[in-house]
Amino acid sequence: MTLKRVVVTGIGAITPLGNTVDEFWKNLIAGQSGAGPITLFDTSLFKTKFACEVKGYHPEDHFEKKEVKKLDRCSQLGLVCVAEAIKDAGIDNDSVDRDRIGAIWATGIGGFETFENEVMDFVRGNEIPRFNPFFIVKMIPNMIAGLITIKYGFHGPSFVTVSACASSNNSIIEGFNLIRLNKASIIISGGSEAPITRASIGGFNSMKAMSERNDDPTRASRPFDRDRDGFVMAEGGGALVLEELEHAKSRGAKIYAELVGGGLTSDAYHVSATHPEGLGAIKAMKEALEEANLDRSEVDYLNAHATSTSMGDRSEMAAVATFFGRDQKLNISSTKSMTGHLLGGAGAIEALTCIMAINHGVVPPTINLENKDTEIADYLNLTPNHAIKRDVRVAMSNTFGFGGHNTTAVFKRFEE
């Protein structure tokens, strides 16, 4: 069986740096931080009082008032970026076979805000069992993929991948495999997350995983820097339209890049810590490049998972140093220094970053990198503080999740 080729024909984003792809990219390469004081709830009793929120988002601008009540914020953000991606791809329902279009979405937590609010209301109500009739369908993570297919009438495969912070890369790789195996012609892929809630912030604070730099939020996310003190929570989403190459060409679709490889491994090490030597990460990168039929020397840009935690950044860079060696030609950056960490949605906007880097010949920076951690290899090019112009033919995105999930996706400039 000959495997099909898979290309990206549409993209969409709603992020702390902008509510469209163009806004996101402009602010990303400018080195802007999306961090600021949390406005979504009262943080006076919390250790961390800031996050990377989506700005200027009003649900009523995108959904009817009665529909807003039925949708968790996570689903709303997902549907908004999907709408941009589908429009960008020029998908016309009257001229495509909707039986061959599916939605493989991703989220790490799903409708956490809904769950939290319903339980709080239940407790405040003196245990009277009154729950919103939309409670369950707003909360369950799979519903986002269902909502996409319902809105657009797609009858192909649909489900949601949940692997913590690796979730979006899992969704992209699953969509890739379904198209390659001729199970679908188009897959709407990506991920969204809305985790800026009391329980989420409090829970991650108790793990001592998040930064507490409340006096200077824009400088709090500082991957690779010796003074990093944890990640910065973020919300938003990113969407990719993955399409079989001949199908895309037959309808005259523009092609942003080709998705050429995916690696999936498990650390089998710890519930929240990555393997200290990055063994699972090394294997994921190796598998992805082997599938892409590329040599490691051909990778121009690596968007690192690098969340700004002490052990996580070190273990990933140990893996990168082992796998790539002393290759100053490879540009590495952590765009979480600007966007914060979107958890299950992170891989989606980082995949978009790789695609935009290929199309624009620009590598975005790692901001707030003032004093590099001495335990991170000095010979790695971490693209500190300023974007650089360079030809990017091959870009790789790493995402890793609690539980030891490792995923690597490889994008390449489209060539006939």
- The residues carrying an active-site annotation are 165, 305, 341
Beta strand segments in 175-256, E: 186-193, 236-244
Q: Which residues pair with 264 in a beta bridge?
A: 407
Rg (CA), the chain: 20
Query: And the tokens for 143?
Result: 């519903």
**Cβ proximity of 348 and 238 under 8 Å:** yes
Query: And the tokens for 292?
Result: 């892409």
Query: And the tokens for 288?
Result: 């992805």
User: CA-to-CA distance for 263 and 356, rounded, in angstroms?
Assistant: 21
User: CA-to-CA distance for 373 and 93, rounded, in angstroms?
Assistant: 51
The three-class DSSP label of residue 232 is: coil
List Cα–Cα distances, 381 to 32, 73, 333, 343, in angstroms.
20, 37, 8, 25
Query: And the tokens for 388?
Result: 């650089």
Beta strand segments in 64-202, E: 101-106, 158-161, 186-193
User: CA-to-CA distance for 146 and 337, rounded, in angstroms?
Assistant: 32
Q: What is the largest CA-CA distance in the chain?
A: 65
Helix residue spans in 307-382 (DSSP H): 310-324, 336-339, 346-360
Task: Compute the Cα dihedral for 173, 32, 231, 361 and give only its sign.
Answer: positive
Pairing of strands 301-303, 257-266: unpaired
Query: And the tokens for 325?
Result: 């060696």
DSSP 200: H
Q: In what order do the strands lie in the sheet with 257-266?
A: 158-161, 101-106, 186-193, 236-244, 6-14, 257-266, 405-412, 394-401, 301-303, 331-333
**Cβ proximity of 294 and 263 under 8 Å:** no
